[in-house]
A and B are shown apart, each in its own frame.
Chain A
Amino acid sequence: SAVISQKPSRDICQRGTSLTIQCQVDSQVTMMFWYRQQPGQSLTLIATANQGSEATYESGFVIDKFPISRPNLTFSTLTVSNMSPEDSSIYLCSVGKYNEQFFGPGTRLTVL
């Protein structure tokens, strides 16, 4: 398995601002993922972040809105840019080990 931490655990932000979420893993992993979980809905993959390459975004998500960094094998950031109330959600990072994925505790974001 893997121990994953996220910062911040929660935040309340104003419309139009940006928030950067950090994800730290206790071991080196190749694949990291960012998900969004909205109330009553499935977890939705935003992007896959592999170290040394550009993040791969899923349909409906773009780099300008959700820029991702992956500077090394234990760390990644997701920025939610120019936020609107529709971005209020839980954002989760996960790591892939073999064919299993392990999740962090999530960042609960509220946009006013």
Chain B
Amino acid sequence: QKEVEQDPGPLSVPEGAIVSLNCTYSNSAFQYFMWYRQYSRKGPELLMYTYSSGNKEDGRFTAQVDKSSKYISLFIRDSQPSDSATYLCAMMGLTGGGNKLTFGTGTQLKVEL
């Protein structure tokens, strides 16, 4: 079993839809949770960063962390064609791994006009 599981998609939605992207994980030591957006042939871009459980909102993006369920989500409101990209979740623990990130495989999102 992988430490971080993420549905690879592809996920196709119409413009303006609410998008829900999710990851589950097995390592209870993870305390920091990130979402990266990666456009084709580009490096990953840090989108959201959350510590421990709770919600964080930034414009059209909301990140949720439920540590009791080992489940994290990224919601995109009013999705735009420019949101079409691969979204990667990543996690990091407080001890042992230092700043080592463990990534999901990424979910490919396409927002259609």
Q: Which residues on A are within 8 Å of B, measured CB to CB? A: 1, 4, 31, 33, 40-45, 48, 58, 92, 96, 99-106, 108
Beyond A42-B4, A42-B104, A42-B105, is A96–B99 a contact (Cβ under 8 Å)?
A: yes
B105 and A99 within 8 A (CB):
no
CB contacts (< 8 Å) of B98 on chain A: these are 31, 48
Inter-chain contacts of A58 with B (CB < 8 A): 100
Q: How many residues of B contact A (CB 8 A)?
A: 26
Known: A40-B8, A40-B105. A101 touches B99 (CB 8 A): yes
Do B103 and A99 touch (CB < 8 A)?
no
Cβ of B60 under 8 Å from chain A: no
Evaluate contact between A102 and B46: CB separation under 8 angstroms.
Answer: yes
> Are B99 and A42 touching (Cβ within 8 A)?
no
Is the Cβ of A100 less than 8 Å from the Cβ of B100? no
Bound complex: CA A92 to CA B38 (Å): 12
Q: List 13 A-B contacts (CB under 8 A).
A: A1-B46, A42-B2, A42-B88, A42-B105, A43-B90, A45-B101, A48-B99, A58-B100, A99-B51, A100-B46, A101-B101, A104-B43, A105-B42
Known A99-B92, A102-B46, A108-B41; 19 more pairs at CB < 8 Å: A33-B99, A40-B105, A42-B2, A42-B4, A42-B103, A43-B101, A45-B100, A58-B100, A92-B44, A96-B99, A99-B32, A100-B46, A100-B49, A101-B101, A103-B36, A103-B46, A104-B43, A106-B41, A106-B43
Contacts of B4 in A (CB 8 A): 42
Per the bound structure, the CA–CA distance linking A33 and B36 in Å amounts to 16
Q: Are A99's CB and B49's CB within 8 A?
A: yes
User: What 10 A-B pairs have minimum CB-CB distances, sorted nearest first?
Assistant: A103-B43, A42-B103, A96-B99, A43-B103, A105-B43, A103-B44, A106-B43, A42-B105, A99-B32, A104-B43
B42, B43, B88, B98 — most chain A CB neighbours (10 Å): B43
